[in-house]
Amino acid sequence: MDRGLDFSSYFYWISVGALIGFILLFNIGFATGLTIKKLLELSSRDNITKLNGRDQLIAKPNAEASLSNKTGRMVLPFTPLTISFLDVSYFVETPLEMMEQGYMEKKLQLLHNVTGAFQPGILSALMGVTGAGKTTLLDVLAGRKTGGIIEGDIRVGGYPKFQQTFARISGYCEQTDVHSPQITVGESVAYSAWLRLPTEIDSKTRNEFVNQVLETIELDQIRDALVGIPGVNGLSTEQRKRLTIAVELVSNPSIIFMDEPTSGLDARAAAIVMRAVKNVAETGRTVVCTIHQPNIEIFETFDEVLRIYILFIHFTL
């Protein structure tokens, strides 16, 4: 004070009072903001809690009756298609590490003469141990493999598969659920519908189809909930998985591939997801899922199972 500006001593107390005032002002403002944010989150969580409260591991008879209404004829028609494959093999370039260890073949065979078929309205599972080639076969059938060599006969509806056409009537649900956190469940599905459905479909029909998809996947009760950030806020893991299925279903595909839809879920959440998957199959679509070590409830959900075995390659130096 003595060597600074010529202020009187009472300015010291004015500064202390101003400091205390700012502390009170910012704390009150911060507390008020958190309270408002919490109220907004609670309104969103109420809808989620209502849906979680009614979810059960095993659907009861009365639930099955309402299920038939959800999975009946939908607004937009589609053509049920069978996908069949005969002696499908898949080769890739042999990794340098394997060649250094003594494997002399230039091509590494990942799929060995796999044969099968998937029908409309049937929930089919690809089962096998880790590394057996479940996802590889799924990617080959879906046309997601851009490298390597594919051999064998793949037919859709009895005709040879043509990828440019097949992409329009098929959907693929990956293990990773990628969604925008700042929009609601209903907006996510509606946005996918606007991007992927034909332009000649009018807005009324499109919106009605979006509502039917939300009901089929049982997301209609939380359509106004924000997606949020995984592990922080918003939807739970199984709800995000069901949203992924809804985003694909709204493109009105005839065939849907799902890569381990129950991965990372507990028994209850997995049962909820599989109930939604079963709803999709009951609309008459061809649904193919890869699955790894399902419990008895999940296993009994499937109508058909295709088991894939791993082929061990032994070589010596």
pTM of the full predicted structure?
0.73
Residue 20 lies in a domain: no
Contact yes or no for 221/51 (Cβ under 8 A): yes
Count Cα atoms within 13 angstroms, Cβ side, for 69: 6
CATH number at residue 133: 3.40.50.300
What is the residue-averaged pLDDT of the chain? 82
The amino acid at 272: I
> DSSP strand E in the chain: where?
83-93, 107-118, 123-127, 149-156, 159-160, 170-173, 255-259, 286-291, 304-307
The model's pLDDT over 53-99, given as tens digits with 9 standing for 90+, comes to 554 433 344 444 444 444 456 788 899 999 999 999 999 988 888 77
Percent of the chain residues past pLDDT 90, beyond the cut: 38
| Domain assignment of residue 240, given as a range | 62-307
**Residue 105: pLDDT band with limits 50, 70, 90:** confident
pLDDT in tens, 118-161: 999 999 998 887 778 888 999 999 999 888 899 999 999 999 99
Residue 247 in domain: yes
In this prediction, residues 170-194 reach a mean pLDDT of 91
Number of domains present in the structure of the chain = 1
User: Would 33 be classed as within a structural domain?
Assistant: no
Looking at per-residue pLDDT, the higher value among 10 and 3 belongs to 10
Q: What pLDDT score does 33 carry?
A: 84
Residue 316 lies in a domain: no
Please state, in angstroms and rounded to a whole number, the distance separating the CA atoms of residues 229 and 248. Answer: 20
User: Could you tell me if residue 94 is inside a domain?
Assistant: yes
Residue 209 lies in a domain: yes
Task: Give 106-113's long-range contacts (Cβ < 8 A, gap of 24+).
Answer: 107/149, 110/136, 110/148, 111/136, 111/137, 111/140, 112/311, 113/87, 113/88, 113/89, 113/152
Q: Does residue 219 belong to any structural domain of this protein?
A: yes
Rounded Cα gap, residues 66 and 262, in angstroms = 24
The CA–CA distances, whole Å, from 198 to 62, 124, 164, 222, 243 equal 36, 28, 16, 27, 21
Side chain identity, residue 120: P
Residue 22 lies in a domain: no
pLDDT (tens digit per residue) in 6-45? 666 777 788 888 889 889 998 898 888 888 877 776 665 5
| Strand-strand pairing, 83-93 and 304-307 | unpaired
The identity of residue 2, as a single letter, is D
Q: What is the DSSP letter of 162?
A: -
* Closest-CA residue to 44 (of 227, 243, 232, 213): 227
For 212-246, b where at least 16 C-beta lie within 10 A, e where not — what string?
bbbbbbbbbbbbebbbbeeeeebbbbbbbbbbbbb
